[in-house]
Structure formats: C-alpha cells, structure tokens
Amino acid sequence: MIIAPSLLAGNHAAFGRDAVRVSKSGADWLHLDIMDGHFVPNISFGPQVVKAIRPLSKLFFDVHLMCAKPEVLLEPFAEAGADEMIVHVELGEQVSHLILKIKNLGKKVGLAVNPLTEISLVQPHLDKIDLLLVMTVNPGFGGQEFIHETLPKIQQAEAWRLEKKLKYRISVDGGINNQTAAECARVGADTFVAGTSLFGQRSLKVAINKMRKIVNACDPALADLKV
Ligand code: DX5
Ligand code: ZN
C-alpha cells in the first residue's frame, strides 16, 4: 500500500518545510498537484517549485497534471525531478501520445479519470500505464467531500486488473480520510492520496500510521476507534 500526502494541503509559504515534514512522516510518496487554471478553475504551482523541493526529499514524486496542455510541461517536470506524471483521460486524442512521451522520458506514467467521466475511456490504455488515478472529487480544490458514486469505478478497475493480469496501481484522490480510504481499499484501491485529512493532524506521522493500519484492515469502522 502507498500513502501519498498531497502538498496542496500544506503551507504554501513553506513548501520546502512541508516536503521535509512529509519525508520524515513515514509516507511512501509525495503527491504534487499541478493546476493550470484551464483544465481546472484553479492554479497551484509549477516545475520550479518541484525543482526547489527535489533536493529536500528522497520520496517518490507523484506529479498530477490537471492541465489542458500537459505536452509542453512533461519535459520541465521530468527535469525538475518528477518520478511519475499523471495525465487526464479527458484530454482525449492526445492521451496515447502523452503516455508514450512520459515513458520516453524514463518516468512512470499515470492516467486519471474524473468522477463524471466514463471509466470505459481508460480501458484502451490500461496495458501501458503504471497507475490509474480514480478521482474521488471533481479536481481543482483540496478539502472537498468524497463522492461515493466513484466506488464502482474502483471496483471495475480492480476487475480489469485481475482479468487482464495487469499490474497498474489503483490510486484514489480527493476526500480521502481513514473512513473513505478503507472503503476504497475494500474495492481494490492500493494507493491513497490525502491532503486535508493528513495535514490537518498535529502529527503527520501518527496520522499516516493510523491510516495505514485502518487501510490494512480494510475496515472503515476502525476509523472511529483509537488504533
Ligand atoms: C484535487 C487534487 C487532490 C487534492 C486532494 O484536485 O487532485 O490531490 O490535493 O485533497 P484532499 O485530500 O484535501 O481532498
Ligand atoms: Zn491530485
């Protein structure tokens, strides 16, 4: 299982400090949300921020590109130190080319699908990706509520993975807390992106440890207990 805190929920005046904090917390990856003000109605940060925090952390950098034209950003993010780049299936015809380009840059490749997008659109790409990101909120902002209607998509992604004997990770992103992470784990998710629920805790280490135990047990009921 992978737990990937999202820096978007960190202190935007101190990204470096928060990247170090995440590195010391027992997290597996650092999730970096890139928003361009076109694909989503918000702007976050770019390759220069990623480059600046790269020397501060040995964690795997999971770069989520919520961008209308990721093509021009792939090289800059690869050079900045991304380990994986995730593009959105909503970009349509560009997707196959983007996947190939990310691979040719020597990076892991992820494909994301929004809550309102048919899961069937990802199917032609499944044998070429390392990770499928099922968005569990509409992308653009942290701190939104988990959309339960996305659970069947995770289930479908897991069914295809078994059926086609593929190895892509199934990641969930948006509104993930101990309760919703366990619900997603039950239907096949293995990678958990969480911003608000983790950064909101006094100790990131304790919060991550607890999420790991609850997800391992796949039991949402444990979220209310002290574990
Ligand atoms: C949403 C981003 C998420 C976001 C999750 O557009 O893709 O990664 O940071 O934040 P929370 O966990 O607060 O929903
Ligand atoms: Zn994200």
In terms of pTM, does the model score above 0.85?
Answer: yes
Strand partners, 194: 5
What CA–CA distance (Å, rounded) separates 212 from 200? 17
- Ligand 1 centroid – CA 138 distance (Å): 9
Report yes or no: 118 and 150 within 8 Å, Cβ to Cβ. Answer: no
Q: Is the distance from CB of 207 to CB of 215 less than 8 angstroms?
A: no
Q: What is the pLDDT of residue 110?
A: 99
Q: Identify the residue whose C-alpha is closest to ligand 1 atom 10.
A: 142
Tokens 């590109």 label which residue? 65
Query: Which residues contact residue 104 at a Cβ distance below 8 angstroms, ignoring those fewer than 6 apart?
Result: none
Label residue 75 left, alpha or beta by phi (over 0 means left) and psi (-120 to 50 means alpha). alpha
d(CA 39, CA 127): 25
Please give the pLDDT value at position 36. Answer: 98
Model pLDDT, residue 8: 98
Would the CB of 32 count as within 6 Å of ligand 1?
no
Ligand 1 atom nearest the C-alpha of 198 is: 12
Q: Give pLDDT < 70 ranges for the chain.
A: 225-227
pLDDT at 62: 99
